[in-house]
Amino acid sequence: MRKSKIFLIGLLCICVAITALLFLGRSDEEQMSGPEVSVVEKPAPQDEILKIYFIPKNLGNLYFDALSSGFYDAIAELGEQNFDYKYIGPPVAEADNQIPFVEEAIRNGADAIFIAANSNEALNDIFDSAREAGTRIYIINQDIPGSETHRDAAIMPVNFDTIGAAQVKLLAEQIDYEGRFVILSATADAPDQNTWVELMKTELGNNPEYDKMELLEIVYGDDQPEKSAAEMETLLSKYPDLKGVIAPTTVGLASACKVIRAENLAGKVKITGLGLPSEMAEFVRDGTCEGFQLWNPPYEGYLGVYLVWEEKRNGFSPAPGSKFPAGKLGEYTILPSGQILTLENPMDYNQTNIEKYAVLF
């Protein structure tokens, strides 16, 4: 009996020792968690959300609303969870009133700012500050001639070198290549409009086809409907024999059309320019405007999102000659100037296609 007890006690000690050794061999986490530990894999780290700002010349402008819709289209394709998109800007287009909005984007750590600059040089210092902070500066819908070193690239709606000649030709066809006309532009500092106006003047001076056409005056409506309309009224009063108007600004074109229609001058004073199909459809339908031109504003915002995506996600560098994919728009090349051409030539809008595009932008 004594030997049996000794045997049982010894067996019990061995069991206790084995149990202790097994416990000591477990990790600290296993000891604390108990025997029923379920191992769950951690999700892969998520990429940083891309912060994109679009700063137009001014808010309340349907043209820039249309351009902004392109940002949303591309973001929807690439996943809304990957982006923080802001569409902010000043109420009036003036040389330096976009600066506070660029400053806000910098403070919020924007990855990229797309801006339709109101001046060629007024924003250079703040652009430099943004780039030093790691924010890319992309001029959109235009460039900033003479200040290209202060931005990373420029998304152009079209090859601007074609705009001046295209606008003059369109008006010439409407007035049979003869008569006096005026130009109603945006602001006196607007880089894009100023470039087009200079190209128009060059075309008029160099092309003998236009020898019987005379440019009387260039006025500025500051991309405000009321001011543009007032300028148009003054021009009609000042030049009773006026044959035509070119308004290379969507706000100016629509406003001038309203004045011409109200004055019962539709067909007598021909008007063309750059306009939005949605705004111009009524004037094309009633004959106030035979036809106008533009490009496709949503394409610009769409292209811009893909540019940032390729840079931040795939390591693309927008060096001259480099190419990148832009979704449904295909492949684009960075030109030696640092520009990216959304389209090569402006599109014509008239009674044959106005209804199709008016529902789009």
How large is the average pLDDT for residues 163-176? 98
How large is the average pLDDT for residues 330-352? 97
Q: Per-residue pLDDT for 95 more than 80?
A: yes
What is each CA distance from 3 to 7, 15, 209, in whole angstroms? Answer: 6, 19, 128
Q: Per-residue pLDDT for 79 more than 70?
A: yes
| Confidence at 6, pLDDT banded by 50, 70, 90 | very low
Give every CB contact of residue 233 below 8 A, 6+ residues apart in sequence: 259, 263
Q: List pLDDT tens digits, range 103-117.
A: 999 999 999 999 999
Instruction: Give the span between the Cα atoms of 260 and 277, in whole angstroms.
Output: 18
Question: How much is the pLDDT for 27?
Answer: 36
Domains belonging to the chain, first-starting first, are 50-157+297-343 (3.40.50.2300), 161-294 (3.40.50.2300)
Question: How much is the pLDDT for 271?
Answer: 98
Q: List pLDDT tens digits, range 273-294.
A: 999 999 999 999 999 999 999 9
